[in-house]
Amino acid sequence: MDAPLAANSGHQGTAMSLAPLAHVLYSRILKHDPTSPDFIDRDRLILSNGHASILQYAMLFLSGYGLEMSDLKLFRQWKSATPGHPEVGHTAGVEVTTGPLGQGFANAVGMAIAESHLRAVHGQDAINHRTYVIAGDGCLMEGISHEAASLAGHLKLDHLVCIFDDNKITIDGSTALTCSDDAPARFRSYGWNVIEAGEIAEDCDALEKVLLTARDHTGAPTLIVLRSHIGFPSPDLTDKHEAHGNPFTAPLVSATKKVMGIPDEPFYAPETFVSEYRSLCRERGQAAHADWKKRTQSISPALSPSTFGIANKQEIASALPVFPSDTKLATRQAFQKVLEATGGVMPFVLAGAADLTGNTGAKLTETSAYSAENRSGKQIYYGIREHAMAAAMVGMALHGGVLPVGGTFFVFADYMRPAIRLAALSSARTVFVFSHDSVGVGEDGPTHQPVEQLASLRAIPGLQVIRPADANETAQAWAIAATHDGPTALILSRQTVVALTDGSAVADGAGVLVKVDKPQAIIIGTGSELSVAVDAADLLKKDGINVNVVTMPSWERFASLSKARQDEILPRNLPRISVEAGTTFGWAAYATNSVGIDRFGASAPGNVVMAELGITASHVADVTRSALLQ
């Protein structure tokens, strides 16, 4: 109560009602080492209802993860270690960034997938831990929870335990206003083991017993339905929605502390109690960690934190195929060849797709499918669950030890955007593969033809977006994505393209493909439109107009170059014409004129749609001529 009061901001109600649960988890159930938060075989705990962050911060403070009382007093303040919602990499002991409801639940499913795969590959002595996730009514209302729960039940992820905080309150009021779901029945239909724990939220021994039962259950993930009372033991706001999103006033805090029988002073935490609590957690954790180290001494060098699922740049470079100049492949087809060629040096890659495995290139044909019966398989079939796939990939990446690759059609990035955004916010090493990248999709029409998606992904801070022009750029894009310290979106073509480049431009984000003496203009192409740019340059050459052609697969990588290097590739004193089969939004940063598609597409053969919407060499040449006259 004290931290939200001091901040005049925050959600204490859920944290109050779940304090006994959190105490039991950290002090009796979780296998964790506060002195080594990244201990590989630790249990993972995710607070999916991340608005209750003060609950986790309080436990990290008590358990000895490095948070001190001064950090709690700076709750939700600038540059504090205790932000409004938990952020991975910002606060030791936080496993994923949560807040958007349901995301943490789906992240937990991904973590459980990663754990089960690594357990099968390395053996139970090396990897054998649980993923616990606390979720509220809001998490289970969000559609992503339906997708993720269905997938988890199908895969029988029995090292996954979800504690459903059934407090029946949302910000607007009682859940009866909006929801009549039978959550236990719903999860049973997904194939989960369901424990309806009832009114035990204040009974630590009963909580321990039910958690141990859930931990030891085999054959299915477990949902514990815990009936709690938001704001308890407040004499004024228990079971009231006002306890949810507004900090208690000072009188309400004082009244609750009186009920609890503790001194009415801010941030009361006796030093002896805190010291003993930390000693207990550290002793338990260090013993578990030491036991794991002893068991794994001779098992696998891959379990070293420095190599756990981390790609080696030199090994990847030596395995990459080089495609001759007469190669004609869709970049989605090239990606599959590259993915398989590097499989031997990256055995930790888990590839999959949302029911479009063969269409996207996110396929490892030399491996078996990951399933409930075959945890060592490396091909994951996510089904038609794009949102859950993306969020599970984030969980897998943050678990560590695997590199998740997931594909779908580019237009369906819209279903994945919340998880992609959180991947970027979390610096999660994920590779999102999007094929069918333009109106070249053709006959399926505007519902399946991405136009604005490329610009929208480029707008996400921390997301590396690469749209390779041919097979060689695709190879280099994969090498860069696999070694990038964060998420990458690979944007791949459905239609066949000719190998025009050696792929070297991907590293800088752009490079000169056709270089002439005394260029009068520059044409910039990406993806399948690079060939349009080259053909336009040829048309202009016949008229005595000399232009450079630049391939620009990645704005983000280009933006990281020095200004001098940028000006060397794209001199600012020349007209610069971009050509890309998508919205021209954003191109003003690099181009003086843009050829693109600032409307939705149409149903017709792909080449017809491209031509009708102006993605042709003749139109690009005309725009270049006009630019030279300006």
**Catalytic choice (386, 473, 529, 580):** 386
Per the CB < 8 A criterion, the answer to whether 352 and 368 are in contact is no
Q: What count of other Cβ atoms lies within 10 Å of the Cβ of residue 121?
A: 18
Torsion of CA 367, 471, 398, 130, to 10 degrees: -10
DSSP string, 58-70: HHHHHHTSS--HH
List the one residue out of 89, 110, 108, 90 whose CA is nearest residue 47: 108
β-strands 379-381, 349-353: how paired?
parallel
Per the CB < 8 A criterion, the answer to whether 401 and 103 are in contact is no
DSSP string, 12-52: -HHHHHTHHHHHHIIIII----TT-TT-TTPPEEEESSGGG
Per the CB < 8 A criterion, the answer to whether 402 and 307 are in contact is no
Which residue type sits at 388?
Answer: A
β-strands 464-466, 193-198: how paired?
unpaired
Distance CA 206, CA 385 (A): 36
CA 7 to chain centre: 29
Instruction: Read off φ and ψ for residue 490, nearest 5 degrees.
Output: -100, 125
Per the CB < 8 A criterion, the answer to whether 501 and 519 are in contact is no
List the one residue out of 47, 151, 67 whose CA is nearest residue 380: 151
Instruction: Establish how many alpha carbons lie within 13 A of residue 596's alpha carbon, considering only the half-sphere containing its beta carbon.
Output: 24
List the one residue out of 379, 468, 346 whose CA is nearest residue 113: 379
Contacts of 290-294 with CB under 8 Å at 24 or more apart are 292/39, 292/40, 292/41
Close Cβ partners of 188 (under 8 Å, ≥ 6 residues apart): 194
386 is annotated as an active-site residue: yes
Active site positions, annotated:
386
